[in-house]
Amino acid sequence: MAIESHKIHEALNWRYAVKRFDPSKKIPSVDWQTLIETLRLTPSSYGMEPWRFVVIENPELRAELRAASWNQSQVTDSSHFVVFLAKDNVSETDIDQYLQRVANARGTTVESLAGFKSMLMKNLVKAMTPEQAFQWSQRQVYIALGFLLKTAALLKIDSTPMEGLDPLRYDQVLGLEGSGWRTVLAVALGYRHPDDAYQKHKKVRFTADEIIQYK
């Protein structure tokens, strides 16, 4: 059954990038499971899922990451703080492992996917430098960002997408160097503080006519 349009409009208008979270409020487990499932089921180019998500629970780690995020309070005061990682390269091994998973899930053989493999090798390995592959991975991560922010709003969970962080410092703090994964962005999730003035700011957006054209 489809969800009523007005509930989607309401969620879109309700959300904003929270500046100050209420540190006393925690996301209930049932909602957290829905947020995780949203990340898990996000679609990606070719289905490659070139992403990982690190949920930072340790308070010392949160404090270190806050220092690497212009001291923004959302890092330590949100209920859940999730770092989004992208794959820094795509190799033939990655593709073979992916095709094995496809074959397993669909009860077929890797050999039957030879044509798909050629296409993946051509588009993701041969046609791309490692840096271009990382750019491609990063773009996929932003689909997951969109999915997560949207689900959060539907559940009336607040969020702050954070690009304003030092990704290299994050990589160091999280021990990612040499892992094949790099920090792209983070999302703080929880509940707005009643005193966060930003919730009263009027949304600034182009009108539909300004951004949508019919041809």
How many residues bind its own copies, per CB under 8 A?
73
Q: Which is nearer to its own copies, 61 or 125 (CB)?
A: 61
What distance in Å separates the CA atoms of residue 142 and residue 127, rounded to the nearest whole number?
Answer: 22
Strand locations in 56-131 (E): 80-87
* Alpha carbon 209 to its chain's center: 29
- Phi, psi (5° rounding) for residue 186? -140, 160
State the nearest-atom distance from the C-beta of 59 to its own copies, in Å: 11
State the nearest-atom distance from the C-beta of 155 to its own copies, in Å: 5
188 forms part of the interface with its own copies (CB under 8 A): no
From 110, 125, 142, 199, residue interacting with its own copies (rule: CB under 8 A): 142
State the nearest-atom distance from the C-beta of 89 to its own copies, in Å: 17
Residues of this chain, 98-137, that bind its own copies according to CB under 8 A: 101-102, 105-106, 135
Other Cβ atoms closer than 10 A to 120:
23
From 19, 117, 150, 169, residue interacting with its own copies (rule: CB under 8 A): 150
Residues of this chain, 52-81, that bind its own copies according to CB under 8 A: 52-58, 61
- Asked if residue 75 lies in contact with residue 106, where contact means CB atoms within 8 angstroms, the answer is no
State the nearest-atom distance from the C-beta of 95 to its own copies, in Å: 13
State the nearest-atom distance from the C-beta of 22 to its own copies, in Å: 17
What distance in Å separates the CA atoms of residue 80 and residue 75, rounded to the nearest whole number?
Answer: 9
- Asked if residue 189 lies in contact with residue 161, where contact means CB atoms within 8 angstroms, the answer is no
What distance in Å separates the CA atoms of residue 132 and residue 130, rounded to the nearest whole number?
Answer: 5
202 forms part of the interface with its own copies (CB under 8 A): yes
Residue in the block written with tokens 């404090």:
63
Residue 160 φ/ψ region, left for φ over 0, alpha for ψ in the -120 to 50 degree band, beta for the rest: beta
Residues of this chain, 36-55, that bind its own copies according to CB under 8 A: 36-43, 45, 47, 49, 51-55
93 forms part of the interface with its own copies (CB under 8 A): no
143 forms part of the interface with its own copies (CB under 8 A): yes
Instruction: Return the bridge partners of 187, or none.
Output: 82, 161
From 68, 120, 124, 155, residue interacting with its own copies (rule: CB under 8 A): 155
